[in-house]
Amino acid sequence: MSVLVFAELDNGSIKKSSLEAIYYGLEVAKAKGSSVTVLAIGESSNEALAIAGKYGATKVLWASDARLNIASIQAYSSVLAEAVNATSAEFVILSKSSLGDAVSARVSAKLKASIVSNVVDLPDFSSGVTVKRSIYTGKAFATVALTADKKVIAIKKNAVNVVEGDGSASVENFAPALNDADFAVKVTGTHKASGQVSLPEADLVVSAGRGLKGPENWGIVEDLANALGAATACSKPVSDLDWRPHHEHVGQTGIKVSPNLYIACGISGAIQHLAGVNSSKVIVVINKDPEAPFFKAADYGIVGDVFDVLPRLTKAIQAS
Ligand code: FAD
């Protein structure tokens, strides 16, 4: 048996969330006396992929067929299923993401595998294989038993504390046969929906709400985001009012983010907003109302006016 991790790439490099999946795979492999193979699909380089070794992989299978440079769900699912067969993997680990969700569902159907998503902890092997998954937008957990021979586990971002080692993985070409049906749906081009940093993947997020009073004031939010290299986000009313585009809206009805740092500026902290941000590692709240509910969910709070606090914070970060 072996452990196979599907690594997503961003500009040829393995995404941070996939490095977490590799590290999770390493912990599973240790428990089973096995090793970790990574599958990477699309444009990259030997050097960029060998990094997987620092997180526990011994080998990377690289499917570098040029037709795979733009993600095709069918083709990626076929390649992953072939890689599972080629490595006789019992465990397939990947990160929970829109691509991960689409691919893992198809692969588990092809392989008749047990599948579980939003996993927040390592498997328990004391009686079969059980895992803990987050449900109801992080309000509760469910323990799920994986009973099929093959098990697909999609882990929640930031659920694993990764420890970087100094290993290097070997990189091997992987070229399963693909046919026209694998490319029946063709993505002919992609463009980034938001600013410089993609919101669902962002490590740092600066988010603002109705406390900003109007779209003309967003410059102070963008200045802080640029100083930090962060993505920008907003509350629902802000996008409903067309102050910001809808793809920046986070919460129960918007995007769910799990950054290392979420800075909420002039946002009250309604339960529907918190549902999209409560798995952030550190939450900083800036609000002029000391009774704002968001302070209850905050790791750090600044009671103050955003028009005063944000420019000072940006200046301090630029000076540091
Ligand atoms: P407000 O509630 O108006 O809060 C503004 C905050 O800014 C206040 O706390 C105020 O003290 C502070 N403030 C004002 N001026 C300043 C200043 N100068 N300096 C500092 N602070 C200041 N909302 C979401 O965000 N995401 C969702 O996905 C979502 N889904 C929903 C789904 C449903 C079914 C429903 C019913 C609601 C949903 N909502 C969602 C709306 C949610 O309930 C809140 O109404 C919304 O989050 C409030 O947005 P806000 O905090 O920007 O605005």
Rounded distance between C-alpha atoms, residue 102 and residue 25, angstroms:
20
Residue 98 confidence (pLDDT): 85
Average pLDDT, the chain: 93
pLDDT, tens only, 261-271: 999 999 999 99
Residue 252's identity, in one-letter code, is Q
Nearest ligand 1 atom, CA 252: 28
Q: Kindly indicate the confidence band of residue 219, based on its pLDDT and cuts at 50, 70 and 90.
A: very high
Q: How much of the chain, in percent, has pLDDT values that exceed 90?
A: 80
pLDDT, tens only, 60-108: 999 999 999 988 899 999 999 999 999 999 999 999 988 999 999 999 9
Rounded distance between C-alpha atoms, residue 67 and residue 20, angstroms:
27
Q: Kindly indicate the confidence band of residue 121, based on its pLDDT and cuts at 50, 70 and 90.
A: very high
Q: Whose CA is nearest to atom 31 of ligand 1?
A: 272
Widest CA span in the chain: 61
Residue 16 confidence (pLDDT): 87
CA 210 to ligand 1 centroid distance, Å = 6
- Rounded average pLDDT over 222-233: 95
Joined together, the tokens standing for residue 275 give 């549902």
Burial class (CB in 10 A: 0-12, 13-18, 19+), 147: exposed
- Sort strands 261-265 and 204-208 into parallel, antiparallel or unpaired: parallel
The structure tokens 């996993």 sit at 119
Q: Kindly indicate the confidence band of residue 185, based on its pLDDT and cuts at 50, 70 and 90.
A: confident
Is the pLDDT reported for residue 192 higher than 90? no
Rounded distance between C-alpha atoms, residue 182 and residue 229, angstroms:
37
CA 283 to ligand 1 centroid distance, Å = 16
CA 193 to ligand 1 centroid distance, Å = 23
Q: Kindly indicate the confidence band of residue 256, based on its pLDDT and cuts at 50, 70 and 90.
A: confident
Rounded distance between C-alpha atoms, residue 70 and residue 59, angstroms:
23
* Rounded CA Rg of the chain: 21
Residue 57's identity, in one-letter code, is A
Residue 240 confidence (pLDDT): 97
Rounded distance between C-alpha atoms, residue 182 and residue 12, angstroms:
22
CA 141 to ligand 1 centroid distance, Å = 27
Rounded distance between C-alpha atoms, residue 179 and residue 297, angstroms:
50
Is the pLDDT reported for residue 296 higher than 70? yes
Q: pTM for the full model? A: 0.77
The structure tokens 């406390």 sit at 211
Is the pLDDT reported for residue 289 higher than 60? yes
CA 267 to ligand 1 centroid distance, Å = 5
Per DSSP (E only), the strands in 139-190 are 140-145, 151-155, 170-173
Query: Best of 213, 268, 294, 295 to mutate for ligand 1, by most ligand atoms within 8 A of CB?
Result: 268
Short-list 150, 159, 171, CA closest to 52: 171
Q: Do residues 252 and 278 lie in contact, with contact meaning Cβ atoms separated by under 8 Å? A: no
Is the pLDDT reported for residue 195 higher than 70? no
* Pocket, ligand 1, Cβ cutoff 6 A: 209-211, 235-238, 249, 251-254, 266-268, 270, 272-273, 276, 287-289, 292, 305-307
Cα dihedral 113, 115, 119, 124 in deg (nearest 10): -40
Residue 17 — φ and ψ, nearest 5°?
Answer: -65, -30
H helices of the chain, in order, are 16-32, 46-50, 73-87, 98-111, 219-228, 236-240, 271-277, 306-319
Extract long-range pairs of 292-299: CB within 8 Å, 24+ residues apart: 292/268, 293/268, 293/269, 294/264, 294/267, 294/268, 294/269, 295/269, 296/269, 297/269, 298/264
Is the pLDDT reported for residue 158 higher than 90? no
Q: Do residues 39 and 4 lie in contact, with contact meaning Cβ atoms separated by under 8 Å? A: yes
Rounded distance between C-alpha atoms, residue 39 and residue 209, angstroms:
40
Residue 117 confidence (pLDDT): 96
Burial class (CB in 10 A: 0-12, 13-18, 19+), 216: exposed
Nearest ligand 1 atom, CA 235: 25
CA 293 to ligand 1 centroid distance, Å = 10
Residue 68 confidence (pLDDT): 93
